[in-house]
Amino acid sequence: MLKFYIFLSYLCLLAVADDQLAEVFPANRPLIIAHRGSSGMLPEHTVAAYELAIEQGADIIECDVVLTKDLEMVCHHDPWISDSTDVASHLEFTGRKRNLTVDGRERFDYFTVDFTLEELKTLGVKQSREYRDQSYNGKYKIPTLREYLDVAINSTTQGIYPELKYPAFFNTFIKDENNTAERVEDMLLNVLEEYGYNKTTSPCFIQSFELDSLEYVSNRTVLPLMYLSKTIIIDGKLKEVSQFLYGVGVAKDTILGVNRDGHITGETSFVDNCHAYGLKVHAYTFRNENQFLAFDYGADPYKEYEQFVKLQVDGFFTDFPQTFHDYLEGVNCAKEHTNTGNVATTSLAILLSTQFIAHFLLNFY
């Protein structure tokens, strides 16, 4: 009898653990990851874009983490800033433009590492894609990592997805310019811990294109780690990284091929391969504009979402979280309608069966 109660207690503990995991993120559908916030509607990586994404139903808001000259962490897609801010119109910073090599490529631009946080805060953020709404240009500022976390922590989901952007570049900058052994990975983890993102059940993923950086982080946190790749990762590598990664984030074309003529060529086995090693798959980037949709979808982003949901992708990086949210709502409504019909049918069958049994027993006795 004692063994039975011990076993029962164990099952109860498992149930509690499952409930805790279920409370972190929805388990019955793919995750809605707001790529740089609601970046299809507002300038990316702004507090307003993050807040709008949450209003639109995003489970997670994503942030690229870069450093300033005074080692403040800010949310911006790249270390260079001319394409996404009005820095060119600030004459006081004209002399800051220079050549700098980042990730093996030399660029002539303005860079975050040449500006203090105070100086960056004088710049206005602008919509970097000319085919999107330009009316919000200059209205918002580059947010700090803490400002991004404040938005998340005060939301209902609190889901975050910071990316360690070019960590090797920034670690070299820290060492050369500031004469310290501190790494950008440690800086990020310290701030995340400050905000309570330091447990297995914390609604936080850490991502990077640099595997060495993630391996370093894996020895310092229990948070789930995601390796970003633009190409298919071979099975041997998947097996290796599955030892310390939660999953991979990949370009959607590695899952469903599209040729240069804009037509689908067929699905790959990549999602199945990842799942076989226990890795989750988050795909990027889903956008509503027609130039990002295969002709097979008939200019309908719902059709694209439908295709990738069928392929069992676990999370979707999207510039338009409202669209994916509405798609999933429609799917769930359809399921609920079907389930309601099934429940009604089952209830009727039970009722008829009960009446039949009662009738049989009365007549038998």
Alpha carbons within 13 A on the beta-carbon side of 308: 34
Q: What is the pLDDT of residue 180?
A: 78
Supply the pLDDT for residue 312.
97
Q: Are 144 and 73 in contact (CB under 8 A)?
A: yes
pLDDT at residue number 19 = 35
| DSSP-derived pairing of the beta strands 256-258 and 206-208 | unpaired
pLDDT at 24: 86
* DSSP letter string, 201-266: TSSB-EEES-HHHHHHHHTT--S-EEEEESSPPPHHHHHHHTTT-SEEEEEGGGTEEE-TTS-EEE
**Average confidence (pLDDT) per 10 residues, the chain, 365 residues:** 39 37 80 98 98 98 98 98 98 97 97 98 97 98 98 94 98 88 95 96 97 98 97 94 97 97 97 97 98 98 98 98 97 62 45 42 44
